[in-house]
Structure 1
Amino acid sequence: MGSFNIELDQTNKVLKAQVEGTFSPEDGMRSVEAYQKTITSIAVPEYEIDIDCTKLNVSAPDTLPILEGCFQMYKKDGFKKVTLRLAKNPILKMQLSRIARSVQLNNLEIVEV
């Protein structure tokens, strides 16, 4: 089971999210709904999004389309920068990098902590 938390830091203009565990398609859809509700109150191009993925597990094949959809949303919504923070997990890093390339999310930075 996956979980998420979203916080809006309006002072520093950063949308902070934390994701952990293994997301089911339902978990993914709940996180998308929460994300969309959160961004309605901000001018997204003025913001960065910083996602803590240090406790996230590698995604199962059936959830990859949702993950890809999230990356497409971040691109379409126009964040200044997208940062993913990962623990040392080469498989997850490769998976996320591949999805970002496939949707041409060029302002993505992956930081290993």
Structure 2
Amino acid sequence: MAKEGSFSINVNRVEKTVDLVIVGTFTPEQVQEFVSDYTTKAKSINASEFTLNADSTDMDVLTQEMVPALENTIRMYQQTGFEKLVVSIKKNPILKMQLNRIFKNTGFTNAEVKEI
């Protein structure tokens, strides 16, 4: 059974980062809550001066069904205009390849995957 989803979004104005942690699988209601919270916090900053750090260390290899949803999320991050996106994952060559493919498909050139 999938782990229930949760998230946190913290704006660090000193370091000029938005630190995002996403865990588990979201319900449709949680997706709406996340998008609302993300939008509110993103509007409170000049995103082009900030790096979005996405802690995805709980992320597993993506199923084909998950790819379109993640592509849409990456597009949302891209449209916000962050200086850079850094997605942190546990060492996993397959997931890293999948994420890099999504960045390429969405045209997000200032995104990187960091294995920890």
TM-score of the two chains, using structure 1 as the length reference: 0.86
Aligned residue pairs, count: 113
**Which is worse superposed, 73-82 or 18-27?**
18-27
Q: Given residue 78 of structure 1, which amino acid in structure 2 is its aligned partner?
A: G
Match of 2:56 in 1: 53
Structure number with the higher strand fraction is 1
- The alignment yields a C-alpha RMSD, in angstroms, of 1.8
> Deviations along 1:22-53, whole A, 9 cap, x unmatched?
34555434322221111111111111100111
Q: Which of the residues 73, 76, 80 maps onto 1:77?
A: 80
* Rg comparison, structure with higher value: 2
Relative distance call for 1:48 and 1:78 in structure 2 (3 A) is same
Percent identical pairs in the alignment equals 35
2:102 pairs with 1:99 = yes
Structure 2 unaligned regions, length at least 5: none
Structure 1, unpaired ranges of 5+: none
Among candidates 5, 8, 22, match of residue 5 of structure 1: 8
Instruction: Report the TM-score when normalising by structure 2.
Output: 0.84
